[in-house]
Structure 1
Amino acid sequence: MSHIRKAVFPVAGLGTRFLPATKSVPKEMLPLIDRPLIQYAIDEARAAGIEEFIFVTAAGKGALEDYFDTAEMLETRLAALDKHDLLARLEQTRLGEGALTILRQDKPRGLGHAVRVARKAVGDEPFAVLLPDDVIRAGRPALAQVIAAHAETGGHMVATMEVAKPDVSKYGVLAVQSTTGRLSRASGMVEKPRPEVAPSREAVVGRYILAPSIFDRLAMIAPGAGGELQLTDAINADAASVPVHGYAFEGTRYDCGSQAGFVAATIAYAMDRPELAASVHDELARWNRPAALAG
């Protein structure tokens, strides 16, 4: 069994880059092939041994809770039609009794504030944080990789990937002290540094394992960049007493909080599906032809 039992999912964001679709549909419910983004995050967490799922949400996000509830009328109808394959798909959306906790963030105050809201639900144990916008396609679930590494180090750990130097200003970046294989020891993190002063090219991806001491730090720090409570600031404030590591996971991360990243993820996951791969390949080939580009 995993030593990490609980995971926090900050899902209170407005999803403005996907308006008008997100006017009525939470961005975490946008479908990537035939599953919403939140399902990919939940499946990754379950495969890593997570038992309790804590959503930090906001007004207008009721569809997230409904999605993981029982759809009695639909299931009855499918059963009457002997649609057992479709009923099996719905099983993926079920969480164990009492496994889902819904908390409300009154207004967007940053990732740090969303994590702080979960303090009572998490309690005094290390826990995971997953950002559903970051979809990671990997043979072994990325969170499982990070949890396994954390079992050896303790403290705070973040998933990382190496990015090109001009791109470091888009990410939180580790201040790396030493590296052994995929594991890096860090003195802290720098949020969106200018390329010329970035301490490394190890960018933080939306998978965290945090020690419970992070809650005390989040209660003490002042708002940071953008007037929001930054999780990066709390990790840095804790770095003197709690070790901070990064783990360069094996896999490909797609930023599904952006339109381009969402399209790229859709293509990648479609190519993984035998019933879709051939037609998607043919369509991409058609658009690669000069005639198609010309008109």
Structure 2
Amino acid sequence: MTTHKPIRKAVFPVAGLGTRFLPATKAIPKELLPIVDRPLIQYAVDEAREAGIEQMIFVTGRGKTAIVEHFDMAYELEATMAERGKDMGALDATRATPGDIITVRQQVPMGLGHAIWCARAIVGDEPFAIFLPDELMVPHKGGGSGCMKQMVEAYEEVGGNLISVLEVPRDEVSSYGVIDPGEQVSAGLTEVRGLVEKPPVAEAPSNKIVSGRYILQPEVMRVLEDQGKGAGGEIQLTDAMARMIGTQPFHAVTFDGRRFDCGSKTGFVEATLALALEREDMGADVRAIMERLLG
């Protein structure tokens, strides 16, 4: 059986300005906006930890120090809660041990591909994961594993590069990166023959969109080194990955779960309602509130 280098590191590009959520994001990073009572970045980090990832690399920008502080020890808060005998469970998941969290600065906003390239020295010669925190990926109601854990399991089978995909209505494909699917390897695992960033509907090779989770080999950093600008005048990660197809194994994992586009206001509200309805401590009350408002 072929063994592959383990996925120990993950890159989180969190330098974006969050302009779609102004004025809420004027002083607060969009990644710290809460879905119920956990910030978006916490969901992504928890998903990474579930998949066995040990080191989180945050690619930050100006005004994003609060993201790192979220995972730091809050001595005054913790001491006060302990003194008052309050449950500390809500804070447990936010604590990081030394070396778990590393930050690197993206000084100029030049696109997702450039943000990933900024982490090249920390990634080194290891395969690594990428999380886009705006894409909230959660298991189906009732249980199941997270998206990255499903991807790591597929990676252990085929190696190479993997991306998560979801099927969307055909008329929505021009808002996403889309795969040109090849051979079906197994249930939920498909060979990728090509990638197109935000194609016109008539030219899209499928309705399977790239959904914010990646496992890539370190060679992508050398491809990004001389990657020209693509859609939107930015350095696109999709373009760099497309250049790697044919030189290394490349597969798509269809996530068995749910995706919420929390980069949009409506997606953010949908995620908040969906997850609140599933909570034992508030689900019934939230449902009653919704029925009253709709009635």
| TM tier relative to shorter chain | over 0.9
- Name 1:146's counterpart in structure 2: 151
Counterpart residue type for residue 171 of structure 1: Y
Counterpart residue type for residue 195 of structure 1: V
Counterpart residue type for residue 272 of structure 1: E
Unaligned runs of 5+ in 1: 290-295
Task: Measure, in 2, the Cα distance between the counterparts of 1:284 and 1:73.
Answer: 37
Q: CA deviation at 1:153?
A: 1.4
- Name 2:230's counterpart in structure 1: 224
- Name 2:263's counterpart in structure 1: 257
- Name 2:188's counterpart in structure 1: 182
Task: Measure, in 2, the Cα distance between the counterparts of 1:185 and 1:196.
Answer: 22
SS class of match (2:179): strand
Matched ranges for 1:112-151 at <5 A: 112-138=113-139, 139-151=144-156
- Name 1:77's counterpart in structure 2: 80
1:280 aligns to 2:281 (yes or no): no
TM-score by length of 2: 0.95
SS class of match (1:257): coil
Q: CA deviation at 1:88?
A: 2.0
Say how many residue pairs are matched. Answer: 287
Q: CA deviation at 1:170?
A: 1.1
TM-score by length of 1: 0.95
Matched ranges for 1:176-255 at <5 A: 176-180=181-185, 181-255=187-261
- Name 2:51's counterpart in structure 1: 48
Could you tell me whether the CA contact under 8 Å between 1:163 and 1:201 is conserved in 2?
yes
Could you tell me whether the CA contact under 8 Å between 1:188 and 1:244 is conserved in 2?
no
Q: Deviations over 1:7-44 (max 9, x none)?
A: 00000001011000000000000011111110000000
Could you tell me whether the CA contact under 8 Å between 1:161 and 1:203 is conserved in 2?
yes
SS class of match (2:282): helix
SS class of match (2:281): helix
SS class of match (2:59): strand
Q: Deviations over 1:125-153 (max 9, x none)?
A: 11000000011120211110011111111
Counterpart residue type for residue 123 of structure 1: G
Q: CA deviation at 1:108?
A: 1.0
SS class of match (1:22): coil
Q: CA deviation at 1:283?
A: 1.5
- Name 1:155's counterpart in structure 2: 160
Task: Measure, in 2, the Cα distance between the counterparts of 1:196 and 1:54.
Answer: 38
SS class of match (1:275): coil
Q: CA deviation at 1:198?
A: 0.5
1:91 aligns to 2:92 (yes or no): yes
Task: Measure, in 2, the Cα distance between the counterparts of 1:239 and 1:136.
Answer: 25
Task: Measure, in 2, the Cα distance between the counterparts of 1:31 and 1:173.
Answer: 29
Q: Which moved more, 1:5-14 or 1:266-275?
A: 266-275
SS class of match (1:103): strand
Give 1 or 2: higher helix fraction: 1
Q: Deviations over 1:74-108 (max 9, x none)?
A: 1111111111x1x2211110112211101000021
Identity %: 49
Q: CA deviation at 1:219?
A: 0.5
